[in-house]
Amino acid sequence: MTTTTTTGTVTLHRVLRAPAERIYRAFLDPDAMCKWLPPHGYTGRVLSLDARVGGSYRMQFTNMSSGGTHAFGGEYVELVPGERIVHTDRFDDPNLPGEMRTTVQLKKVITGTEVSIVQAGIPAVIPTEMCYLGWQESLQLLALLVEPEIPGE
């Protein structure tokens, strides 16, 4: 008997009023990731991060309503500064099996940077629309982090 596990994919597209280099940095800086990546209602903690091809990262989100946490991590497959990030993701929870692959493409445009994200291999038990909603919330927070032009420092 063969069992087929269906996985989901989300595709997101935004234009942010920020340079591609700043957005790229926000995807790889542990402090920045904690500020923007957890969706509303969650906090984040980077447990480890080695931002190089072949390097890995581990992170956890904590649900502020229930106090529950879930940890995940992966490996950096491709890093092209200011242009492209590809990494894998796996949840520590055995009830969320499989490996996801996230591709972030950055393209300079006249108003800032076009950001395209594809996350494939989302475990079947996670409704795709919940993942999509979480990404939308995270991208709102990313915009708040990277769009301001702060003089000095």
Q: Per residue of the chain (153 residues), what is the pLDDT tens digit? A: 444 457 899 999 999 999 999 999 999 999 999 999 998 999 999 999 999 999 999 999 999 999 999 999 999 999 999 999 999 999 999 888 899 999 999 999 999 999 999 999 999 888 999 999 999 999 999 999 999 988 876
Q: Residue 153: which residues within 8 A CB-CB, separation 6 or more?
A: none
Q: Determine the Cα–Cα distance for residues 55 and 63; give it in Å rounded to an integer.
A: 27
Domain ranges (residues) in the chain:
8-146
Instruction: Check if the beta carbon of residue 74 is closer than 8 Å to that of residue 94.
Output: no
Q: Which CATH superfamily is domain 8-146 in?
A: START domain (3.30.530.20)
Instruction: Check if the beta carbon of residue 125 is closer than 8 Å to that of residue 118.
Output: no
Confidence at residue 48, expressed as pLDDT on a 0 to 100 scale: 97
- Phi first, then psi, for residue 52 (nearest 5°) are -150, 155
3-state secondary structure 28-63: HCHHHHHHHCCCCCEEEEEEEECCCCCCEEEEEEEE
Confidence at residue 153, expressed as pLDDT on a 0 to 100 scale: 66
